[in-house]
């Protein structure tokens, strides 16, 4: 059974391995119209074809010419389009501080997500964007409890969960330990025939696979549901959101059913063509337990160059105005590291039709 849990990860890694393109692919120079763009790092190491829908900018006199490929600003424009033609190795790390009735002390955790964005051209009109989410989690979780007689003081840093048991004044404290490993894997598939700014939107199924290496790090359920996304990509503002919902349909019968909505709302202001300020947190609502997790915050991101590789980096801070009372996130800081890699040529050719 464990082998089947890792099938989504293996398929994703094999699929991403094609990013290097096929031998013999020839770079295409960008013409004045901006219909196709190429970035050549030392003529061979990095060939990045930009989304033809990305807005083109006039080139200042004395700066890079069309033969040198698109500018850094044009790359930044294309990255902001979640349904563009770029293949993006999106990596995100969230450090989270948890509080609640189950603990007196603040508990910490982290979640590192690898989210490659892989667009494929199905026909001349339709595209499919695959976005798997592979995550590695490390959280403090309860490992047991101790009964505390009324004559003995409770351990420092712990809150009794019950003041009396059978009227004897006995309380109990939780023991905590850290669990680390893979979490559940999500695969979002978006179909779209509207991928050119300023308005872009897509829809499709989303799946959640029980790939967690420990039962406390995942749901132990197979889940699926719908997803939809829509964005306005203006000259100064980026506004939109991604909604996913999962219902469980198989898995461990002793675990709770999954009935979960995740909504990522995005608002960003373009300070420069390369730098944004804004936010993009995830609101979650557990329908079966009537629990809302609602973060608000602010952050910034910018496009830099590491050697020959364009990379988007950023940091965001969030406070959770609503969370589960028993145990939930209080604060978090998010780090973004997003390398832009060459897109394989076959992904730009229609898979169906001429």
- Give the total number of structural domains in the chain: 1
**Beta strands 40-41; 87-100: pairing state:** unpaired
Buried b / exposed e across 223-252, counting CB within 10 Å, b at 16+?
A: bbbebebbbebeeeebebebbbbbebeebe
Task: Tell me what pLDDT residue 173 has.
Answer: 66
Report if residue 147 sits inside a domain: yes
Task: Tell me what pLDDT residue 58 has.
Answer: 40
Token digits of residue 37: 């763009």
Report if residue 353 sits inside a domain: no
Buried b / exposed e across 171-194, counting CB within 10 Å, b at 16+?
A: bebbebeebeebbbbbbbbbebee
Could you give the C-alpha distances from 130 to 12, 58, 118, in angstroms and in order? 10, 33, 5
Task: Tell me what pLDDT residue 49 has.
Answer: 38
Task: Classify the phi-psi angles of 351: left when phi > 0, otherwise alpha if psi is within -120 to 50, otherwise beta.
Answer: alpha
Report if residue 307 sits inside a domain: yes
- The domain in which residue 229 lies consists of 2-348
Task: Tell me what pLDDT residue 152 has.
Answer: 47
- Residue 116 has a CB neighbour count (10 Å cut-off) of 20
Report if residue 354 sits inside a domain: no
Token digits of residue 158: 């712990």
Largest CA distance in the chain: 85
Task: Tell me what pLDDT residue 169 has.
Answer: 55
Report if residue 310 sits inside a domain: yes
Report if residue 243 sits inside a domain: yes
Find the CATH number of the domain harbouring 210: 2.40.160.40
Task: Tell me what pLDDT residue 38 has.
Answer: 35
The answer to whether the CB of 223 falls within 8 A of the CB of 247 is yes
Task: Tell me what pLDDT residue 80 has.
Answer: 84
Report if residue 276 sits inside a domain: yes
The residues of the chain scoring below 70 in pLDDT are 1-71, 144-173, 354
The answer to whether the CB of 218 falls within 8 A of the CB of 210 is yes
């Amino acid at each position: 059974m464990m082998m089947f849990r890792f099938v989504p990860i293996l398929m994703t890694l094999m699929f991403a391995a094609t990013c290097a393109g096929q031998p013999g692919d020839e770079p295409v120079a960008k013409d004045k119209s901006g219909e196709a763009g190429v970035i050549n790092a030392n003529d061979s190491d990095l060939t990045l074809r930009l989304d033809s829908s990305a807005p083109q900018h006039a080139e200042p006199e004395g700066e890079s010419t069309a033969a040198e490929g698109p500018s850094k600003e044009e790359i930044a424009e294309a990255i902001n389009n979640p349904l563009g033609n770029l293949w993006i190795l999106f990596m995100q790390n969230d450090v989270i501080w948890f509080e609640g009735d189950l603990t007196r002390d603040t508990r910490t955790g982290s979640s590192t997500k690898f989210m490659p964005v892989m667009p494929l051209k199905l026909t001349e009109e339709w595209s499919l964007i695959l976005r798997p989410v592979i995550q590695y989690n490390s959280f403090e979780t309860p490992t047991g409890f101790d009964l505390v007689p009324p004559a003995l003081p409770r351990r420092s840093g712990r809150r009794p969960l019950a003041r009396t048991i059978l009227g004897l004044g006995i309380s109990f404290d939780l023991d905590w330990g850290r669990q680390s490993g893979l979490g559940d894997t999500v695969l979002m598939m978006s179909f779209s025939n509207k991928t050119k700014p300023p308005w872009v939107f897509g829809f499709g199924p989303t799946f959640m696979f029980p790939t967690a290496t420990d039962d406390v790090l995942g749901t132990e359920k197979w889940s699926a549901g719908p997803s939809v996304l829509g964005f306005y990509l203006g000259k100064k503002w980026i506004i939109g959101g991604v909604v996913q919902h999962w219902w469980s349909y198989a898995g461990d019968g002793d675990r709770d059913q999954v009935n979960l909505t995740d909504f990522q709302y995005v608002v960003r202001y373009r300070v420069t063509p390369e730098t944004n300020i804004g936010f993009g947190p995830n609101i979650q609502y557990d329908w079966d337990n009537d629990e809302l997790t609602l973060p608000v915050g602010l952050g910034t991101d910018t496009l830099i160059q590491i050697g020959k590789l364009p990379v988007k980096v950023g940091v965001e801070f969030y406070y959770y105005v609503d969370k589960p009372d028993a145990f939930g996130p209080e604060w978090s800081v998010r780090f973004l590291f997003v390398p832009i890699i060459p897109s394989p040529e076959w992904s730009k050719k229609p898979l169906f039709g001429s």
